Each structure stands twice: as structure tokens, then as C-alpha cells.
Structure 1
Amino acid sequence: MDARSDATSPLRTDTLVARGTEPLLFDLAAGDRVRIVDPEGRQPGLLLVSGEIEAEGLTPADEAEAAAARAALAARGTDVSKLKGFRLFSDDAEPGASIALEAASAAVCALVPAGAQMAPDEQTPPTELLVEIESAAPAKGVAPAPLAEPKLDLRIDAATASAYRVKAGDYIQIIDVDGRQCSDFLAFDAAALERGDETGIDPTVTRTLMATANPAPGLHSKYFDARLTPLVEIVRDTVGRHDAFLLACNSKYYEDMGYPGHDNCTDNFNRALKPYGIAPKAGWPAINFFYNTTVNADDSISMDEPWSRPGDYVLLRALTDLVCASSSCTDDIDPANGWAPTDIHVRVYDASETFSRGIAHRMTPDAAPRLTRETGFHPRTSALTRKFSEYRGFWLADCYSDNGPIEEYWACRERAAIMDLSPLRKFEVIGPDAEALMQLAVTRNMKKLAINQVVYTAMCYEHGGMIDDGTVFRIGQDNFRWICGEDYCGVHLRELAAKHNLKVWVKTATDQLHNVGVQGPRSREILHAITVTPPAEPTVSELKWFRFTVGRLAGVPVVVSRTGYTGELGYEVFCHPSRAVEVWDAIMAAGEPHGIKPLGLLALDMVRIEAGLAFAGYEFCDQTDPFEAGIGFAVPKEKADAYVGSEALARRRETPSKKLVGLEIASNDAIGHGDCVHVGRAQIGVVTSATRSPILGKSIALARLDVTYANLGEHVEIGKLDGQQKRIKATVVAFPHYDPTKSRVRTEADPA
């Protein structure tokens, strides 16, 4: 749920999100005006109200439809005996359809986007409804609802500081109430204080132990004192932008700026900590939550307004008994607090509470934040490793404890491997103009795509820079599924449809379709043994390259496509996340005689670089076109219909300036993304991805070079240190480095 305030308006406008099938509870005051929006279209909703509302054209809901919303309100303690229920939106509502309401009296409401679990061969995902509430209530100073029953509920007024005790295991929530307000945080070992030993958070120790000694915006997972003892760990962060290396503001800063006597956080801390016997300091090392600091290329430090929105927070967990102090930063002479300090709110929750770990992911800058989620396969992957990374809003395993990335790599190359690919974004594109929209949006020719066929393609901006790459599944004559990595693709497709007046719906299905890749020489045998397809559909063994089939895997409805990201024969299996554990178990059981292993992100990076496969943010971004990303094959010359970026891509094809090439590196020095590539003194390119290839026995890389030096056999140097003091020799080679003819992913029946 996201609440944002418009500080320029006399009214407060809050935007709340009701996610598919999940009840959203909210309160209305008399006179509040409400607008409920169906942003993607075709999403009926159910609204239950315990009060009087005024609206036109609402259809009463029956009791069965309203059960989920009724149960949610009852659990909150609302009297459900006099609830009024209404149905919102039709099954064919246009994207952006809205309904306006006004509360005639105070009311408690529950909104549920209607729908059920979507089978993998269906295109009916329940999607979001937005609730925009315009209220005359004060726009500022309202903290979001607690995450649980708080042990401490502390308001820190603007430009002040407070100290408080926290028990080991308890959770500390630091909330930016109105947005764009910094809060410095101190923590001391309480037991050590009682012994007269003052030990607090030490930034240098923390950076060293967390292996990020150079300052950078963001948070460490743990914070240590000078004894190397961990004091707190980060559990949640809804902002992602903080300063964890500078001092809290102090009198010297303001004196140097020409404001002697200005309130400052250090003096406020000194006063707040005095009762605990903590000696005053001229400047306190602190975690500067929400402070937006930038370390520039010359190592100078600059700042701008914080990224935090109203209600954003950081959740920490105390690792020992602590004395803590939090401030609302006093700075009103620069952008640090949006030029106007506001309140900070602190809540402490008991150690017995359970909170998921996560980092907020926003689809677009104004979208509601979503904390990192677990995929449907997480119950199985988390039992095999604790090494997870946040990837596009989901937790994915880096590697598995019993194997490690090298063994996982060889399993994929020689036998079979299973990998969780659920964070891939899935969009259902349906309606009579679905083909026209996809023809307009991507570089490949959708008119040539047969039903049950898949094609890899690029999606570009008008200037030719890439939005994303992905695969299009043609499910029917007017039915497509776009699978990619970028949430914004859905917004882009809906905007295109509206601009060109196309009758088509683009529905987000990411939370209804989770998937694993089953890759390697034995993958066909494994899946064939446990997958049954209808008589009219191809079996797994009959499935050709870039085709898909529907069926049941060990009784679970699935879609199986012959696609992958490894350069090996392989498949992807899509199912509803509620059945993901069954799918995982069945594949692992069938694969055990074949030596199947789970594969994490580290091994996946090795195989995809060897196979020359592009990765967003590495081989391409909005400043690179498909040719520069090494996927020019996805931009056919013969596509007659214009599409977004087609004119720019035609120009770029004729006059390329950069080209993606393979590099063989003449040493085992570590090479990484972003390393500069030189000929003589001049930089002529950049490494996009690099790895040490187990099967080739050498270090290899993908690099984007000036076309002058992109010829096979060209000798270049990779710069380290400052790019000039140390050079590593490399040679331009063709890519893919491994299996360049793609013979390993083909069979005798596949076209050459």
C-alpha cells in the first residue's frame, strides 16, 4: 500500500493499491471524494462499505462475491452486519476506466480485485485497482499504520532528536512521515555502556567488514562497532538511497556556511544521550537514513533532495541490547531535507514478530513500492541455500550450498540443471488489435509468428535505444504473451495502444506465472518422462526450437517452451506459483538419475556469457540499440510495417558507431562489467560482461567497441587501476565463444 501527499494542494490526495484478489482496507471521513481506477482494464472489483457513499451506477454484489472482503473487515473488528456491497467495472472495461464516489459519512471500506488463479495457458490474471482519496484532513504529519503492535511509538518532532532503549532481537522502524526528510541514527551496546565502555556504530569498521570500503549511497546489511561486534542489521528498506558514511550535521557545517548558532543533529544527539552517560562529540558518525548523497567521479561529495516518499521507512533488527538515538535532521539551508525539516517517527516491535526481508521495487517512479517477494519455488530453493540476491523485486539464489557455481555450471553443460526464472515479467496482450500492437511495439514481424510459436525480439524507443529484450508467445490469433525483464514494458504497451486507438488489453501476469528453466543435454529426457500433453499438442520430445506446448507435469497444468538462456538444449516450464513446489519436486525426482542440479545466478552468468546472450544493464540500455547490443539478428530488414524506432534503427544499421564483440583475454586477471578497453592511450570501448570460462579454460568477455577496432583478430587492452597504469591484453574474437553454430540447442528435426 502506498500513500503519497500533494503538498501544493489544500486537500490531501492519497493513492492506495489493491493488488489482484487481495482485500485492501481503508477508512473514509465524511466528505472524502474517492476515485477507483482500473489501470489495465478488464478487472472487476468488489467494494464493501460500512457507511454511506454517494455514487451512480453501482451494481449490488451478492454475498458469495463479497466473502473475502467481508472476512477482512471482520478480522479488523468491523461490524459486518450492515455492510453494503457493490460490483465495480465490467469484464471488458477499458484500460483507465474509473468510478467516482463520495463519502456521506465516516466509512470503513474493503476493495477486492475479483478473480481466481490463472492457469498457465489462460490470459485472465487478476490485476491492480487504484484508490485515489481526496480528503480535507491535514495533509502532513500522519504516519502509516504500524507493521505490528509497537512496544514503542515515538514521534521525533522536526529538527529534534530522541534516545531510546531497544532489546536484542527487537525491530526498529524509522519512518519518514512526510517524505524527503533525513534521519540520523546512532546505536550503542547497552551492556558495554553500563561497564563504562562507549561503543557505537563505526562506519570504517562496517565498510571494511562488509567489503565496501569506498563510500557509496545505500545501506550495508549489518553495522558494527569498533570491536567488530554487529549491532544492527537491515531487514527492510523502501527507499534504496541513503548515506551511510558521513557525520550527522554539526555546528561547524553551519558556521562554515554562514549560519552560526544553527540547530544541528550533533548537538541534539548530545542532549538526548546525556542521561545515558554518553560523552558529547563535535560530530557524530551515523547512519544517515534517507540522505541523498552522491560520490562524484572525482570523489567529491554532493547532495540533492532525498528519494523518500511519505511513509517510506527502514526496518532494522537489534543484534544486542542497545541504546539508540534518532534525529529529524535540522538542515533547512540546502536540499538535504527538501528545504523544510519535518517529523520522523520511530516504532519498536517485539522480537517475537516476523517480518519478511525486502528492498522496495517500483515499476515506475510514481508506482507503489513492493517489497522483495519470494517466488513460488522459494520453499525449495531456500532449503538448499541462504545465499540470495535481490533481483528485480524477487529473491533468487546466487548458488547452492551442496554444489557451488562451478559444479552447477558443469551440471548444465554435461547433464541438466534447474533454475528459478520467475522474476521475468509476463504480460498478456489480448484483443482484436493485439497483433497490431505487438507489430508496432517490437522489431520482429508478428504477422509471421504462428500459433504456439515463440520469437526473441527487441522493444525500442523512437530513437532506437532499447527498452528491453524478450520473447513473444503467440497463444492465439488475437492472443500474445510478452515475457521480458522490465516492468515498464506493460506501461509502454498500454500507452502505445491508447496513442494509436487500438482495442487491446495488456494485463500483468507476473504474479500468476512463475517459471523454471530446465537446461542441459538431458533436459528433454527428464521433462518427457513427466509431462503429458493433449493429443493435438506436441509432446516435449516433439517440441521444436522456439515452440511451446501446454499440458500437465506430474498432474500440474503447465506451459512448456523450448527456450533458454544457457546455450544448451533446454526448456522453460511455467505454472501458477501455488503449484510451483509440486513442479520443482517432480523435476528434481525425474532428474535425479540424470544428475540434475539446481543452478543459481553465478553459474547462470557463466553459461550466458559463453553463449553470447545479452543481459539488460550490461549489453544494452536505453542508450544502445540492438546492433550495439549484439542482437541485430532480431531486427529484420524485411519488416514492411513501421514500428517504434524503425526509422532510427534503419539509420543506425547503415552507419554503426559501435559493435558488440567477443574478447579472449591473455591473462587470468579479474575482468568485470564497466572495465575500459583501450588502443594506445585512447579508450575505444567498454567491457559489458566477463567471466572465466570453465569449459574453454580461459577468461572471456563481451565488449562494446568502436567499429574501427571491432574486426576479428584486433589486439586491444583492458585498462585497470586508472585505465592507464595497468593493461591486460585481449584479442577480438567472434561470439558466442561457446558453440557458435548453436548445434547443442538444435536437434536433427530442427531447421539449420
Structure 2
Amino acid sequence: MDAPFPADPARTTRLVARGGEALVFGLGAGDRCRVSDPEGRQPGLLFVEDGALTGTGLAPLDDRDIAEAAAARAALAARGIDVSRLAGFRLFPDDAAPGATVAFEAVSPATFALVPTGAAMAPDEQTPPTDLKIEIESLQPSGGEAPAPLAEPKLDLRIKAATASAYRVKAGDYIQIIDVDGRQCSDFLAFDAAALERGKEFGLDPTVTRTLMGTANPGPGLHSKYFDARMTPLVEIVRDTVGRHDAFLLACSAKYYEDMGYPGHDNCTDNFNRALKPFDIEPRAGWPAINFFYNTFVGPDDSIGMDEPWSRPGDYVLLRALTDLVCASSSCADDIDVANAWAPTDIHVRVYDASENFSKGLAHRMTPDAEPRLTRESGFHPRTSALTRKFVEYRGFWLADCYSDEGPIAEYWACRERAAIMDLSPLRKFEVLGPDAEDLLQLAVTRNMKKLAVGQVVYTAMCYEHGGMIDDGTVFRLGEHNFRWICGDDYCGVHLRKLAAEHGLKAWVKTATDQLHNVAVQGPRSREILAAITVTPAHQPTLNELKWFRFTVGRIAGAPVVISRTGYTGELGYEVWCHPDQAPAVWDAIMAAGEPHGIAPLGLKALDMVRIEAGLAFAGYEFCDQTDPFEAGIGFAVPKEKADPYVGSEALKRRRETPSKKLVGLDVTGNEHIGHGDCVHVGRAQIGVVTSATKSPILGKTIALARLDVTYAELGTEVEIGKLDGQQKRIPAVVVGFPHYDPQKTRVRAEAAPEAAAKAPAASPDAVSSMEPRGAETRA
């Protein structure tokens, strides 16, 4: 990583230009700018008024840059800039190494446009446009500037440090509360304005809100509201770029500072009392408030603690008024502890008209220092959102929890008996290519990449040096030097690029998540459905010829697709990969072909049931960085002999020889709810933990996966699942093998008709390709 510009005395600003999108930014005279290509092989086009900059590594435009140049010029023209006077430059060659940089300096104040070039990527290509990073060193000191407004504001209000202000908001309008310099708490109050005119005070009520929402901090989405004592919603959360706030306690009060030995200290409660006085609102000794950006938490001993806020400069919360409101916001006055990082700073409030249309989302960061990305919609969202309003945020995307017509149980049976389709676009996709691509993956994952044939897929683990897991996922081999790594964690791309740099490997790892969205089509009828609509070239396998853990290239409804025979359900199934722009057409074609077969959409609740029955690992449940593949139940993905060393190989060898824990199945007695994290006991001693559990519809009983001490991991061992404190209530269970459902994987391997496959004898392990897993499939 390049050394950053010095932070003092200059001000440093960091921006990201998204792949294929124009970013407009300004520089003052003397400002220095550095543009970096973190993933490599990503040219950029830079446009600025002629003569406004000087620098190195700036090449003239060529004929291939005409289309991208037009987009950048249009973005600048929209800002009122005379594009006829623009000079254009090309940044980075086509084969730029990861981390390549270009630096320049502004000779005079100017507006710039930067476009990371690239068009939409076909699913069998490996050319995703990726991000470029901008770092600006300005000699102008920071003036506590708020970020650019989201739209034209109706109210633009600066709340100075350690003060509070009141303001009116009309029903439907949006309220943006911005932490200008970061790590600064802001308390928020809201009152029903019409009730105030009648002499009635109905403000935010923490007890009602917690009770109705079931959480301390409502998040963006349908269930995101704050209520008053009448159970009337006053505001809803639309966006949140922090995700960590107070548990809705009191705003700081005079008593807090008096008890700490600071009588007369400014406090939010007294500031609110003064600000609300013109509205005839009775003063209080302590105001129950939404404490935005305030990092308080409940400890394991039930005590409430606090630490520095998580918010960074420019972070914000966007709310929407659900009725006419009188609101009040503060900049918290606390300068005697970590609540505001010891130094109160300004808060900025903007109000936008109800006619604006802001997307809902939480901020997702790939790494702690990454730019936040708000929750986004997959290419299939126009179709799934027409079928349900029950969405949850999953790894930066909105996914359906279940569908409105019948619910998760019916969706489950559709998958087991007929066919189901589910949006799994949040899977992270990385294109790994270059002459050393195979060597890089051989170093990074547990399986032997040298045995992987073109057109084949393999399930594998990626580990740290100590043997703990980073993630699991699948590797697709697209060519001799071309691979695709599909997993769940963004950090895998960072890890792979770091390994390539450390070992001097000529390989690029390009992020393709936003260019490659996917649905899984799973169930006994899935082959019939997809075979009827998939057209493949003569040199590619047809859908009927496609073997387990292989992929083919073709078209559905004219849209280019890659189809892999993989899944996460324990059923015969496929995953269909396409560009997001083509996703609605692909969805429509699959649903139309599947209608005679009883296909149904499937959400995350039903998916969790089928994957637990099939014994499939899930990140944060069956594995984490403290868990090795053996403890996660995927030891089959770690071959005893691999020609080349890989990250964690020595640790995994030791762990294989001296295991301490093992993943097992549990059959649970009775119908009590069992959940992730429940303790497992033999006598008084805790000997393990439940990782996942569900009430299995097809088996008619509660089943679980659990990580137990090897002493008690033998089949038939009787254990107890602890409730309450783990001692006062016990639920009997017995250790069994897993998967609980179709343990020999006859259904996913089925080459005959599904009914015949279900009755076929179990396949001999010797008949299974050495690259095919014996206990898991692609994970979501």
C-alpha cells in the first residue's frame, strides 16, 4: 500500500470513483491529488479545464476512449462547466499492476471528472470495471464542512458544538443528521406537531419503540420506526451509514455532570429545554432521546458501558417524518469522557422535500478503512419486490426473507418436491487471472487447483496461517490462467491481492460482484425447467449433460448466462449467473418455464431450513476465524496430501492430527426452540455449542448442528442443550451423523429422473471425482 500524504498540516480527503461511473470533484490551487488503481488493469479517463493541472503519468486520449469521454463530459456539462475547454487524459495502462498510482497538482481552482472505464461484463468474461481511489491533500484547513447535500434542502441548519436547536418538519419530509467531523453524538427528539397545538405532548417513547420493534436500534426498511406513547409512528429510518448508535437512553443531563464533579456543565437536556421553550414544551430533568452516533452497549454483566462513537466525518442518518413534527437536535456537550472522543464538534441537519425519492440502506464497508456503500438492490429486485415487502439487509444487499403469498414452509416444500428460485446475488465474485493465477489460488485455498479442469467447479476453504477460516466458497476454472472465486466475504479479494504482492505473483484479482448477479434454481424439477429454456453452443455441455460441480455457458431468453450445477439446498439444482441488466429477463423466463412444474420463489428463512437439513456450513455459524475446516464440518475440503504448501497448511496438519472439537448432528427431543449459540452440556460441564438449528418439516423433528468437544462427539452420545443459564433448563438430544437429510447426496448427484435417483443406492466414495465434495455444496 502506498504511504498516504501527510495528514498535518494539510487536510486529506479520500474519494472513490466506482467502476464505469463518472465522479466529479473539485481541487483548489496548490491541492495535490493521487489516483490509485487498487486492483490493477483499470484505466481511467480524467477531464479538467485545459492548463489547470500539472503531473506525471498522464497520457493523451486515444480513439477507444471516445464513449467514456462522452459520459464524463456530460457529467461536467451538468455542473455548468464549459466542456469545449476540457483537456482529457488517460490514467493507467491496460496491464497496470495492482496499486499503481498517478499524481498531479492543481495549478488553479478547477472541477475534475474521473471515469474508471469499462462496459457491462458478460458472465463468461473477466473484464469488470473496478474502482479507482482518489486521495486529495489540500493546503486549506478543514472548516468543518458537511458533505454535499443529497438533494436541494428545504432547511440547512448547523448545530454548533455543545448546543441544540429545534425545527419544524412536514409529514413525508426527510431529515438528515450529519456528524460533520466524526465521533460526535447527536440526540434527537420529535413531537407530534398537531397534538402540541392541542396542548398535548406526544414525543418519542423508548419503551413502546423497543416493544413494537423488538430491537434497540431499528434499521432501514419496512420495520424501522420510532413510536410515541400512543403507539403512533413518528419517524422511520431510511438510511444509516454508521449502524451503531445508543440503545435509546436519556440525553446527557445536569445530574450526570454533577455526579462526575462538574456542576453547571453544559448538557443536552438543558439545551433542549431552552430550544423547545418557544413550542410550550415542558422542561424535563432528562430527555429520552434517540442518541445517534452514541456508542453505548450492554455488557455481559448487564452493565451499560460506552466507548468512542463509530461514526466518521460525513456519516449520517436519514429519517422520514410520518406526520407533521416539531423536532430538536443537539450536538452533545460531553467533553469529560470518550462519548464524543473528548472534544465536541458540530452537527449538521438538512431537511429535504417529501417529493424526493431516497433509497433505503445501511452502510457496508469491505474493510474498516473502506468507503461505505449503502445497501443496494440486486438485478432481480424488480421481480422479487413485486412478490414481497419482507426484505432484510444481507451483506450489503436487500434480500427477501420470505414471500407474501404462502410463506417459508410452502417455499421449503416447493424446493423439496418441485422447484424453487432464490436470489443469491450478494455472493462476492472475484476474477482471478494472469499467468500466476493458478499459483495464487494454490497458495490461498485448501483444495488442489492443479487438478481442476476447465469447466469444473470445486468447493474449498480459505484460511489464515493459524488455520482459522477466512471463508469458504467455490472456484470456477474458466481457462488455463483464468479462475473465478465465489464466496461470501469481501475481504477475500483483499487477502488474495496481498498474497500475490507478498509472493511476487503476476496475477490480478478483480471484483465482479456488481457485474455478476445470480439466482439458484433448486429442486427435483430444476433440470426440466432450465433445459427447456437454455441454449448452449455446440462446444459447451447442454443442461441435460451438465455434471455435478461443472458449469456451462449459454443463453436464456437471449441473455448471456453461465449455469453451474451447484446449490445450497441438498437438492438437484443449478445456479444461473448473468449481468444485472439482464436479470429481470432471466427471472421471467425461468418463472414462465417453471410455472407448469410448480416453481416458487424462496426466501432466506426457507433457505436456512434446507441448508441445515443438508448439513451445509454458514459463515458466522459453523465457522469463523477461530474455527478450522475440520471443526466447521468441511474437513473433506482439506486433502491430506497437496503438492504445494498453502496458507495455513502446517496449522491444519497439526489440527487434523490433534482435533479438539468436531461438528456433529443432533436430534433434539421435543419442540422447544433451539438456536445458534445455545450451550450443550454433559452433566454440569458445557462441552459445546449449537451452531445452527431448525424444525425440519420433512423429518418431523428439531435438528441441529453443534460443535462439540471430541470426547463427546461419538454417534449415539446423549447430551443436553441448556436454556436459561444452561443449568436450570435442559433439553435432551443425541449425537447423530449429518447431513440429516439425504446423507449420501443421491439427490444432488442425480443423473436419472429425480424419483429414480431418490431410490438409487448410495454412490461409492471411490466413484466420486477427487475434486467433488462429499459433504457440502456452494454456500450462500
TM-score range, shorter chain: over 0.9
- The amino acid of 2:256's aligned partner reads Y
- The amino acid of 2:46's aligned partner reads L
1:509 Cα deviation from its structure 2 partner: 0.2
Determine the structure 1 residue equivalent to 2:30.
31
Query: 5+ residue gaps in structure 1?
Result: none
SS in 1 for 2:113: strand
Distance 2:586 2:7 in 1: 52
Distance 2:78 2:723 in 1: 60
CA contact (8 A) 1:216 1:294 kept: no
Distance 1:708 1:65 in 2: 63
- Which residue of the other structure, out of 515, 518, 538, is the alignment partner of 1:515? 518
1:136 Cα deviation from its structure 2 partner: 1.2
SS in 2 for 1:168: coil
1:8 Cα deviation from its structure 2 partner: 5.6
Distance 2:360 2:467 in 1: 38
- Which residue of the other structure, out of 432, 435, 451, is the alignment partner of 1:432? 435
Distance 1:624 1:747 in 2: 32
- The amino acid of 1:69's aligned partner reads A
- Which residue of the other structure, out of 474, 477, 485, is the alignment partner of 2:477? 474
Note the 1:508-657 alignment, pairs <5 A: 508-657=511-660
SS in 2 for 1:648: helix
> Per-residue CA shift, 1:403-441, capped at 9, x if unaligned?
210110000000100000100000000000000000000
Distance 1:698 1:508 in 2: 42
> Per-residue CA shift, 1:49-98, capped at 9, x if unaligned?
12510012422225544100001111122221201111111110000000
> Per-residue CA shift, 1:305-362, capped at 9, x if unaligned?
1000000000000000000000000001111001100000000000000000000000
Distance 2:331 2:430 in 1: 42
Determine the structure 2 residue equivalent to 1:688.
691
SS in 1 for 2:461: strand
With over 3 angstroms needed to count, the CA separation of the structure-2 counterparts of 1:304 and 1:140, relative to structure 1, is farther
CA contact (8 A) 2:57 2:103 kept: no
- The amino acid of 2:450's aligned partner reads K
CA contact (8 A) 2:206 2:248 kept: yes
Number of aligned residue pairs: 746
When the two structures are superposed, what TM-score results if normalisation uses the length of structure 1? 0.98
CA contact (8 A) 2:219 2:362 kept: no
CA contact (8 A) 1:15 1:131 kept: yes
- The amino acid of 1:465's aligned partner reads G
With over 3 angstroms needed to count, the CA separation of the structure-2 counterparts of 1:479 and 1:103, relative to structure 1, is same
> Per-residue CA shift, 1:373-420, capped at 9, x if unaligned?
000000000000000000000000011111210110000000100000
1:680 Cα deviation from its structure 2 partner: 1.2
Matched, 1:378 2:375: no
Determine the structure 2 residue equivalent to 1:335.
338
Matched, 1:141 2:140: no
CA contact (8 A) 1:217 1:244 kept: no
CA contact (8 A) 2:24 2:112 kept: yes
Distance 2:472 2:406 in 1: 31
With over 3 angstroms needed to count, the CA separation of the structure-2 counterparts of 1:6 and 1:404, relative to structure 1, is farther
CA contact (8 A) 2:187 2:330 kept: yes
Determine the structure 2 residue equivalent to 1:68.
71
1:6 Cα deviation from its structure 2 partner: 9.7
Determine the structure 2 residue equivalent to 1:22.
21
Distance 2:393 2:217 in 1: 18
Matched, 1:130 2:129: no
Matched, 1:54 2:57: no
> Per-residue CA shift, 1:134-180, capped at 9, x if unaligned?
00122240000000000000000001000000000000000000000
Matched, 1:396 2:421: no
SS in 2 for 1:266: helix
1:683 Cα deviation from its structure 2 partner: 1.0
1:10 Cα deviation from its structure 2 partner: 1.2
Distance 2:218 2:751 in 1: 53
- The amino acid of 2:265's aligned partner reads H
Identical positions, percent:
82
1:747 Cα deviation from its structure 2 partner: 2.6
Determine the structure 2 residue equivalent to 1:701.
704
Query: 5+ residue gaps in structure 2?
Result: 753-762, 769-780
SS in 2 for 1:692: strand
CA contact (8 A) 2:68 2:115 kept: no
Distance 2:670 2:643 in 1: 47
1:216 Cα deviation from its structure 2 partner: 6.9
Distance 1:237 1:64 in 2: 35
Matched, 1:323 2:326: yes
Note the 1:142-291 alignment, pairs <5 A: 142-212=145-215, 215=216, 221-291=224-294
Determine the structure 2 residue equivalent to 1:723.
726
Distance 1:60 1:108 in 2: 19
SS in 2 for 1:579: helix
1:679 Cα deviation from its structure 2 partner: 1.1
When the two structures are superposed, what TM-score results if normalisation uses the length of structure 2? 0.94
1:245 Cα deviation from its structure 2 partner: 2.1
CA contact (8 A) 1:216 1:295 kept: no
CA contact (8 A) 2:419 2:524 kept: yes
- The amino acid of 1:388's aligned partner reads F
Distance 1:318 1:566 in 2: 42
Determine the structure 1 residue equivalent to 2:39.
40
Distance 2:57 2:410 in 1: 62
- The amino acid of 1:41's aligned partner reads G
Distance 2:201 2:746 in 1: 66
CA contact (8 A) 1:218 1:243 kept: no
1:682 Cα deviation from its structure 2 partner: 1.2
- Which residue of the other structure, out of 457, 462, 465, is the alignment partner of 1:462? 465
> Per-residue CA shift, 1:627-647, capped at 9, x if unaligned?
000000000001121100000
1:465 Cα deviation from its structure 2 partner: 0.4
With over 3 angstroms needed to count, the CA separation of the structure-2 counterparts of 1:401 and 1:65, relative to structure 1, is closer
SS in 1 for 2:383: helix
CA contact (8 A) 1:217 1:293 kept: no
Matched, 1:496 2:505: no
With over 3 angstroms needed to count, the CA separation of the structure-2 counterparts of 1:318 and 1:7, relative to structure 1, is farther
CA contact (8 A) 1:166 1:348 kept: yes
CA contact (8 A) 1:184 1:326 kept: yes
Determine the structure 2 residue equivalent to 1:487.
490
Distance 1:226 1:257 in 2: 32
CA contact (8 A) 1:171 1:315 kept: yes
Note the 1:340-419 alignment, pairs <5 A: 340-419=343-422
CA contact (8 A) 2:187 2:289 kept: yes
Matched, 1:10 2:1: no
Distance 2:181 2:260 in 1: 26
1:9 Cα deviation from its structure 2 partner: 1.8
CA contact (8 A) 1:662 1:734 kept: yes
CA contact (8 A) 1:218 1:244 kept: no
CA contact (8 A) 2:20 2:119 kept: yes
CA contact (8 A) 2:662 2:710 kept: yes
SS in 2 for 1:743: coil
CA contact (8 A) 1:61 1:85 kept: yes
Distance 2:518 2:276 in 1: 52
* RMSD (CA atoms): 1.3
Distance 2:562 2:507 in 1: 23
